[in-house]
Structure 1
Amino acid sequence: MSYKVDEIIKEHLSNWRQYPEIVKGFEFLHADAENTLKQQMELVLVEAPTFEEEERAQVFAQMLKEAGLDNVIIDEDGNTFGILKGKGEGPTILLEAHLDTVFPKGTVKEIVHKDGRIYCPGINDDTRGLANVLAILRAIKHAQIETTGDIIFLGTVEEEGIGGFGGMKKFLAKHQEVDGSISIDGAGLNGIVYEATGIRTIAVTFKGIGGHAMGAFGHVANPLHAAARAVAKIADIEVPADPRTTYAVSNFHAGNDTGVHAIVKDATIKINFRSNGQKELEELEAKIIAAIEEACQEETERWGKDTITYELIDYVDNRAGTQDKNAPIVQAAFHLIESLGFEPRLAQGGSTNASIPVTLGIPGVTLGRGGSEGGVHTVNEWFDPTDAHKGLQVIYLLLLHLAGVENKITSILII
Structure 2
Amino acid sequence: MSLLQKVVRVAAPVLFFPGIANGQQAPAGRIGIQKEYVNEISRLAGDPLVKKMFTEITRLEPETRRDHISLTEIPAPPFKETERAKAFASMLGAAGVDTLWLDPVGNVVALRRGTSGKRNVVVDAHLDTVFPEGTDVKVKFSGDTLKAPGIGDDTRGLAALLAGLKALNRAAIKTDANVYFVGTVGEEGLGDLRGIKHLFAQKTFPIHSHIALDGVGIGGIVNSAVGSIRYRVAYLGPGGHSYGAFGLANPHHALAKAIAYFTDEANEFVKSGVKTTYNVGMIGGGTSVNAIPFESWLEVDMRSESPERLAGLDAIFRNAVEKALKAENSVKRMGEDLTVKLEKVGDRPSGSIPGTNPLVQRAAASAAHLGAVPMVAASSTNSNIPLNQGIPSVTIGSGGKAGGAHSLDEWWLNENGEAGIQHMLLVLLAEAGLAK
Q: TM-score, normalised by structure 2?
A: 0.90
- Give the distance between the partners of 1:304 and 1:289, measured in 2 at CA: 26
Which deviates further from its counterpart, 358-367 or 229-238? 229-238
From 355, 373, 383, the counterpart of 1:325: 355
Shift of 1:3: 3.0
Do the aligned residues in 1 keep the contact of 2:98 with 2:113 (CA within 8 Å)? Answer: no
Shift of 1:242: 4.1
Shift of 1:190: 1.2
From 284, 304, 309, the counterpart of 1:253: 284
Do the aligned residues in 1 keep the contact of 2:30 with 2:375 (CA within 8 Å)? Answer: no
- Give the distance between the partners of 1:304 and 1:123, measured in 2 at CA: 55
From 83, 89, 96, the counterpart of 2:111: 83
Give the AA of the match of 1:174: Q
Gaps of at least 5 residues in structure 1 are 408-415
Cα deviation 1:162-221 (Å, max 9, x = unaligned):
011110000111155110011000132211001111111110111222111111102x11
The 5 A counterparts of 1:150-161 are 150-161=178-189
- Give the distance between the partners of 2:138 and 2:162, measured in 1 at CA: 23
Gaps of at least 5 residues in structure 2 are 1-28
Number of equivalent positions: 403
Do the aligned residues in 2 keep the contact of 1:57 with 1:155 (CA within 8 Å)? Answer: yes
- Give the distance between the partners of 1:6 and 1:247, measured in 2 at CA: 37
From 401, 406, 409, the counterpart of 2:430: 401
Q: State the partner residue of 2:301.
A: 272
Q: State the partner residue of 2:229.
A: 200
Quickly say closer, same or farther: Cα 1:59–1:114, change in 2 above 3 A. same
Q: State the partner residue of 2:167.
A: 139
The 5 A counterparts of 1:101-250 are 101-175=129-203, 176-218=205-247, 220-236=248-264, 237-238=266-267, 239-240=270-271, 242-250=273-281
Quickly say closer, same or farther: Cα 1:319–1:304, change in 2 above 3 A. farther
Is 2:344 the counterpart of 1:314? yes
- Give the distance between the partners of 2:271 and 2:59, measured in 1 at CA: 48
Q: State the partner residue of 2:394.
A: 365
SS class of match (2:208): strand
Quickly say closer, same or farther: Cα 1:242–1:336, change in 2 above 3 A. farther
Q: State the partner residue of 1:57.
A: 85
- Give the distance between the partners of 1:28 and 1:164, measured in 2 at CA: 36
Is 2:372 the counterpart of 1:342? yes
- Give the distance between the partners of 1:34 and 1:201, measured in 2 at CA: 42
- Give the distance between the partners of 2:34 and 2:347, measured in 1 at CA: 36
Do the aligned residues in 1 keep the contact of 2:42 with 2:369 (CA within 8 Å)? Answer: no
Give the AA of the match of 1:336: S
SS class of match (2:111): strand
Give the AA of the match of 1:376: A
Do the aligned residues in 2 keep the contact of 1:64 with 1:82 (CA within 8 Å)? Answer: yes
Aligned-residue CA RMSD (Å): 1.4
Cα deviation 1:109-143 (Å, max 9, x = unaligned):
52211132111111111111000110000011000
Shift of 1:35: 1.1
Q: State the partner residue of 1:15.
A: 43
Do the aligned residues in 1 keep the contact of 2:75 with 2:137 (CA within 8 Å)? Answer: no
Quickly say closer, same or farther: Cα 1:158–1:302, change in 2 above 3 A. same
Q: TM-score, normalised by structure 1?
A: 0.94
Quickly say closer, same or farther: Cα 1:241–1:341, change in 2 above 3 A. farther
Do the aligned residues in 1 keep the contact of 2:53 with 2:167 (CA within 8 Å)? Answer: yes
Do the aligned residues in 2 keep the contact of 1:49 with 1:103 (CA within 8 Å)? Answer: yes
Do the aligned residues in 2 keep the contact of 1:194 with 1:366 (CA within 8 Å)? Answer: yes
The 5 A counterparts of 1:67-82 are 67-82=95-110
**Segments of 4+ in structure 1 off by > 6 A?**
none
- Give the distance between the partners of 1:341 and 1:9, measured in 2 at CA: 15
Counting aligned pairs with the same residue, the percent is 36
